[in-house]
């Protein structure tokens, strides 16, 4: 018990130091605290190092809460039967707390029943996790309708500007010339280094450490990858497909591996939030299932640093995907016989093209978006702005700040 108490005190002290020493950046998220205004569970999910813990801590900062970080190596090997001892230690140290914050509790096998029991006892609980499957299985069975999950991504471009202390001056949708020049310059930087908070605070090179941590802790260890070097090559190869259609069967043939293994590895990257996909929009479910998916990467820093991607048009499309996934939750593209729309949800059609002037926009992009049925039609460009035949042409920087 004394060992557990010391770990909890150390973790709490580290938490306090973070809020004393670090500048905490406000995140553009909904009012998440209302989801735990009654005894309930809020799961903040997302890629490792995206700021989930900090966001969770902000939500309970003014409350009397118990906190445990299960990513602490001193808690490695803890079992579900030990969780009651840990709970007792929390009460002894911090009193009869109403709120619990559990970081990466999915590291403990059988944690679901423990959390369910706390909720039934009237406790309000926030859990964080870097694997999308943590809410499947037992937790979903025991907590049907009693938990809310929210996916947090690394800093958006708007949050990145906030971190950099850049206040853009805008009046009625018009930005000052100085603000616009600053925004464009910072967009170029954001496309290179991305939005992981620790990369921005420590060093651009820290992106390698984050990627390595995710690969080993959230994929290799979780799905028990044996061919680690082959898997690393596979993961980097998948990143190189950003903003493109991907074929599992083609990759499996290239690697001379079974389709099942490659699919398991691909799903592992998805579950760890390294990548996400867009499916083909169609009213025939089978057609959507057999059509190729388009793959996108969770942070532009992974693209420029790990995948060494430098295609401006594809980088732009990936940034638009990151913007839309926050709003739409699920992405689709539209494909007809002679044209394709990058993003489409039945109401809105969004096309992305690296163009600075109207004459640089490929004719097929304009003709394609004219044909699709949509209430709102947008072509995201690099610099060109205007409106014609119901189509809005919006520069990327302005689109990302909407």
Total length of the chain: 402
Cβ-contact 186, 299 below 8 angstroms: no
Q: How far apart are the first and last CA of the chain?
A: 51
Q: What is the pLDDT of residues 352-383, one digit of tens each?
A: 999 999 999 999 999 999 999 999 999 999 99
Is the pLDDT at 1 greater than 60, yes or no?
A: no
Q: What is the pLDDT of residue 128?
A: 95
pLDDT band at residue 132 under the 50/70/90 scheme: confident
Is the pLDDT at 44 greater than 70, yes or no?
A: yes
Helices (H) and strands (E) in the chain, counts: 18, 17
Task: Give the separation between CA 212 and CA 59, rounded to whole angstroms.
Answer: 29
The pTM score is 0.94
DSSP string, 346-398: SSEEEEE---SSGGGS-HHHHHHHHHS--SEEEEEESS--EEETTEEEEEHHH
Q: What is the pLDDT of residue 138?
A: 56
Q: What is the pLDDT of residue 142?
A: 67
Kindly give the pairing relationship between strand 348-352 and strand 343-344: antiparallel
Taking the mean position of all CA atoms in its chain, how far away is CA 269?
Answer: 12
Q: What six digits make up the tokens of 148?
A: 């809310």
Q: What is the pLDDT of residues 179-228, one digit of tens each?
A: 889 999 999 999 999 999 999 999 999 999 999 999 999 999 999 999 99
Please state the rounded mean pLDDT for residues 6-27.
Answer: 91
- The tokens 């409350």 sit on which residue? 63
Cβ-contact 333, 318 below 8 angstroms: no
Q: Give, in order, the Cα–Cα distances in Å from 153 to each of 139, 150, 276, 316, 363.
A: 23, 10, 12, 17, 34
Complete edge-to-edge strand list for the sheet that includes strand 391-395: 343-344, 348-352, 376-381, 391-395, 386-388
- The tokens 């494909």 sit on which residue? 335
Task: Give the separation between CA 103 and CA 49, rounded to whole angstroms.
Answer: 12
Share of the chain above pLDDT 90, in %: 77
């Amino acid at each position: 018990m004394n060992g557990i108490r010391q770990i909890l005190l150390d973790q709490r002290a580290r938490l306090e130091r973070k809020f004393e020493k670090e500048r905490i950046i406000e995140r553009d998220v909904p009012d998440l605290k209302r989801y735990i205004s009654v005894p309930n569970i809020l799961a903040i999910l997302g890629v490792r190092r995206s700021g989930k813990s900090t966001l969770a801590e902000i939500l309970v900062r003014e409350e009397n809460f118990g906190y445990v970080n299960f990513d602490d190596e001193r808690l490695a090997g803890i079992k579900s039967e030990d969780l009651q001892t840990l709970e007792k230690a929390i009460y002894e140290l911090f009193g009869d707390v109403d709120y619990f914050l559990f970081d990466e509790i999915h590291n403990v096998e059988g944690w679901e029943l423990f959390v369910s029991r706390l909720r039934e006892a009237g406790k309000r609980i926030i859990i964080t996790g870097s694997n999308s499957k943590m809410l499947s299985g037992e937790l979903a069975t025991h907590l049907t309708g009693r938990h809310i999950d929210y996916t947090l991504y690394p800093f958006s471009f708007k949050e990145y500007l906030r971190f950099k202390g850049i206040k853009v001056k805008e009046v009625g949708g018009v930005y000052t010339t100085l603000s616009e020049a600053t925004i464009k310059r910072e967009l170029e930087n954001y496309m290179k280094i991305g939005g992981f908070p620790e990369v921005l605070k420590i060093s651009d090179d820290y992106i390698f450490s984050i990627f390595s941590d995710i690969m080993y802790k959230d994929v290799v260890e979780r799905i028990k990858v044996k061919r680690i070097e082959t898997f690393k090559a596979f993961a980097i190869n998948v990143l190189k497909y950003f903003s493109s259609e991907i074929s599992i069967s083609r990759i499996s043939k290239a690697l001379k591996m079974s389709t099942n293994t490659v699919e398991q590895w691909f799903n592992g990257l998805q579950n760890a939030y390294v990548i996400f996909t867009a499916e083909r929009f169609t009213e025939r479910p089978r057609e959507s299932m057999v059509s190729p998916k388009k793959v996108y990467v969770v942070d532009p820093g992974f693209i420029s640093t790990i995948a060494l991607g430098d295609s401006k048009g594809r980088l732009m499309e990936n940034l638009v995907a990151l913007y839309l996934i926050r709003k739409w939750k699920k992405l689709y593209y539209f494909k007809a016989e002679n044209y394709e729309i990058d993003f489409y949800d039945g109401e809105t059609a969004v096309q992305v093209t690296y163009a600075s002037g109207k004459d640089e926009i490929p004719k097929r992009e304009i003709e394609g978006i004219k044909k699709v049925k949509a209430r709102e039609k947008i072509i995201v460009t690099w610099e060109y702005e205007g409106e014609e035949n119901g189509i809005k042409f919006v520069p990327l920087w302005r689109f990302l700040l909407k």
